[in-house]
Amino acid sequence: MNLSGNLSRESIIRFLEGRGSDSELFEAARGTLLKSAGSGVFLRGIIELSNSCRKNCFYCGLRRDNKTFSRYTIPFDEVICVFESGYAKGLRSFLLQSGELLVDEHIDHVERLLRWISTNLEGVSMVLSMGELPIGILERLKKAGAHRYLLRIEASTQELYEMFHPGDGLHEYDDRLRSLQTIRASGWQTGTGVLIGLPGQTAENLADDLLFMKEMDIDMCGMGPYLEHEQTPLWNRRSELGQWEEREILTLRMISLLRILLPTINIAATTALQTLDPEGLEKGLMAGANVVMPNLTPIKYRKDYNLYQGKVHVEDTLDEVLKILENRCGEIGRDVKLGSPGDPLHFTNRMKEQAGGWTE
């Protein structure tokens, strides 16, 4: 099937509603990926640095008002150990993720970690995902050595965004959007994403999410299924949710459509997708994803980074995890690219274009 980056909103909706052929869609997306970015699978080691958060998103288990678990921040030396062992095994990109915290202590901690990496480990690309930060803090962290920022818009339709966030002045749609635009405009490799399968979300909403990402001209995407958590307000709407199979197929269609719309970006096969289905990794990659994020958070903290119920907890050593990933990717004809930071080609091309007349 010949599907191009100019897919209309109507065709996108048709695919999302299952009125097109999924197998042809996935094949077209895979073809686009192989032609434009190749068969490589890039790894980002994710470190869930802190589960404290000042926010109260209705869907997230880490929300401020959930008092049923203990809050932690991984100390400096423990994070350094993770960096060192990951680097020794060939990882060249790490993602530091946390709740949104603007306190100096947290920002200083992240800045120190970034400086340590810049000074001690060569050729590493650092990704941050810590919520909405003021521009001054973003600049500080960029100077300290971070290159990429991931801030999901969560739902690009304002009405839907407002349905899933409290109207307390801390969760404004316009602030989220402005924050993402600031990141994009200030030289970061920019990632965003959305929650898929939220109660009340329509195919039209999801089509608009995809067109939003195309319009923003993002470099990376991490989007995955919404999964429920008992200690959140959204738990009360669980009877409105689609079955896991429905949320999975929607996620795969979203990955494929985005791959066709933006051929050279990095797209992750997320942990949430792998939570829905033990074969979610393979299915995500076959639908057009090219990034996998092995969890490097020390085991003792993992149970307290519980965004949703049933989150996959693998307790294998890093050696075992990498071996398993290489085998699983190899079985579907894909090769894990150790030793490479895996910068999105989309960003590299964007920079060349800015430097002088290059076109993709």
Interactions with ligand SF4, residue window 147-176 (CB under 6 A): none
Side chain identity, residue 49: L
Residue 16: name its binding partner from ligand SAM, ligand SF4, none (Cβ under 5 to 8 Å by kind).
none
Q: Which of 86, 99, 197, 225 binds ligand SF4 (CB under 6 A)?
A: 99
In the chain, count H helices and then E strands: 14, 12
DSSP state, residue 154: B
Identify which of residues 102 and 351 has a Cβ nearer to ligand SAM in the complex. Answer: 102
Q: Which of 307, 325, 329, 336 binds ligand SAM (CB under 6 A)?
A: 307
3-state secondary structure of 48: strand
Cβ 226 to ligand SF4 shortest distance, Å: 11
Cβ 149 to ligand SF4 shortest distance, Å: 14
Cβ 132 to ligand SF4 shortest distance, Å: 8
H-type helices in the chain, by residue range? 9-16, 22-36, 76-88, 104-120, 135-143, 158-163, 173-185, 203-216, 244-261, 271-276, 280-286, 299-302, 318-331, 345-356
Q: Which of 308, 322, 341, 347 binds ligand SAM (CB under 6 A)?
A: 308
Identify which of residues 77 and 105 has a Cβ nearer to ligand SF4 in the complex. Answer: 105
Residue 63: name its binding partner from ligand SAM, ligand SF4, none (Cβ under 5 to 8 Å by kind).
ligand SF4
Is residue 226 close enough to count as binding ligand SAM by CB under 6 A? yes
Backbone angles phi, psi at 36, to 5 degrees: -95, -30
Task: For residues 38 and 263, give the distance between their C-alpha atoms in angstroms, rounded to a whole number.
Answer: 10
Residue 211 and residue 254 in contact, taking contact as beta carbons nearer than 8 Å? no
Sequence-distant (6+) residues with CB within 8 A of 357 are none
Is residue 209 close enough to count as binding ligand SAM by CB under 6 A? no
Count the alpha carbons within 13 Å of 178 in the hemisphere toward its beta carbon.
8
Number of residues that bind ligand SAM (CB under 6 A): 21
Is residue 131 close enough to count as binding ligand SAM by CB under 6 A? yes
Interactions with ligand SF4, residue window 53-72 (CB under 6 A): 53, 55, 57, 60, 62-63
Cβ 171 to ligand SAM shortest distance, Å: 10
Q: Which of 48, 100, 209, 219 binds ligand SF4 (CB under 6 A)?
A: 100
Q: Which of 3, 20, 91, 154 binds ligand SAM (CB under 6 A)?
A: 154
Task: For residues 291 and 58, give the distance between their C-alpha atoms in angstroms, rounded to a whole number.
Answer: 28
How, if at all, do strands 224-225 and 195-196 pair?
parallel
Angle 334-37-207 from CA coordinates, rounded to 5°: 100
Q: For residue 324, which of 282, 268, 266, 271 has the smallest C-alpha distance?
A: 282
Is residue 176 close enough to count as binding ligand SAM by CB under 6 A? no
End-to-end distance of the chain based on CA atoms, in angstroms?
22
Q: Which of 20, 45, 86, 131 binds ligand SF4 (CB under 6 A)?
A: 131
Interactions with ligand SAM, residue window 20-59 (CB under 6 A): 53, 59
The full length of the chain comes to: 360
Binding site for ligand SF4 (CB under 6 A): 53, 55, 57, 60, 62-63, 99-100, 131
Binding site for ligand SAM (CB under 6 A): 53, 59-60, 62, 97, 99-100, 129-131, 151-152, 154, 195, 224, 226-227, 229, 272, 307-308
